[in-house]
Amino acid sequence: MSPEAAAEALASMSREMEEGSPSSRRRAARRAGALVSSTVRLLLRGGAATARVTWVGGRALTERLLQTAPRIPVRDLATLRAQHPKAGDAEALADLLVAGAVRASASVGAGVGAAAMLPVPAAMAAEVAAETLVVAAVEIKLIAELHQVYGVPAGGSPAQRTAAYVNAWADRRGLASVTPSHPVGVAAVTGLAVGTEVRRKVRKRLTRSTLRKLPTLFPLLVGAGLGAVLNRRDTRRLASRVRADLRRRTDAVPGYWAAAAPS
């Protein structure tokens, strides 16, 4: 799956997980499985040594996330309101976005375990690493769209905004202001400018998430159920912290919600 196709699948998965019908959620779950599978193949390309680097060192995962982040489709408030016309205020719309992201994360985690049936430890490591990347993309998208919902999106160029949301994801917090305080010590990576401090935090977050989930695959091969539970809990906790931060912001443009009303 190309980066563009993966971005489109992520967008469709997010939208379908926000909808209430069982059929839309089943479609979203299939997309989640396809995203993980394609990412596993990508990580295993080059052999077991590459897979070991992705989950132990975190460097390869960090680079992959920084390459993917600018392609993550983020809906503006007008689009979100048009897609969810029954959401009467920011809190109701945020509830829908969080519920969809939590379902998406759980679906990604529920799919983990298929590679554990293979007699290749590298495949297990790569699958957990792939799950970590897909969940990270879901959560970065959620953070960016929550900032839209509360009327305080990041400022700056597209690359600066993306870097700000990636940094917020690594910190597990909402942005403190619309002016990006990062990057520090700027270095360009495939269109996304990030500083060494942001890169370090992203790598630490990815490595921690991956190593925490790996042990669930080995004893009794029960990773699928535990992965869903862990992802659901972590994404919900992240959303709660980000929303609490955004509610404290006072710099939203007056009337921003009415200005984005569906025509």
Helix (H, G, I), strand (E, B) or coil at 152: coil
| Statement: residue 46 has pLDDT above 60 | no
Distance CA 134, CA 207 (A): 14
Higher pLDDT, 203 or 258: 258
- Torsion sign across C-alpha atoms 193, 125, 16, 230: negative
pLDDT tens readout for residues 48-67: 545 554 454 567 778 888 88
Give DSSP secondary structure letters for 169-197: HHHTS--SSSS----SS-EEETTEEE-HH
DSSP β-bridge partners for residue 194:
187
Q: Give every CB contact of residue 65 below 8 A, 6+ residues apart in sequence.
A: 133, 136, 137, 166, 202, 206
> For the chain, how many helices (H) and strands (E)?
11, 2
Q: How far is CA 80 from CA 23, 83, 92, 93, 191, in A?
A: 21, 5, 12, 8, 26
Q: Where are the alpha helices (DSSP H) in 19-153?
A: 22-44, 48-56, 59-68, 77-83, 90-110, 121-149
Check residue 156 and report its DSSP letter: S
Give the angle subtended at the CA of 58 by the CAs of 53 and 61, to the nearest 5°.
90
pLDDT at 97: 96
pLDDT tens readout for residues 174-224: 998 766 554 433 333 334 555 677 788 888 888 777 766 655 554 444 555
**Region for residue 112 given its phi and psi (left: phi exceeds 0; alpha: psi -120 to 50; beta: otherwise):** beta
**Tokens (6 digits) for 36:** 């993980």
pLDDT at 234: 92
pTM of the model: 0.85
Q: How far is CA 191 from CA 15, 91, 120, 159, in A?
A: 26, 33, 35, 7
Share of the chain above pLDDT 70, in %: 75
Mean pLDDT over all residues of the chain?
A: 79
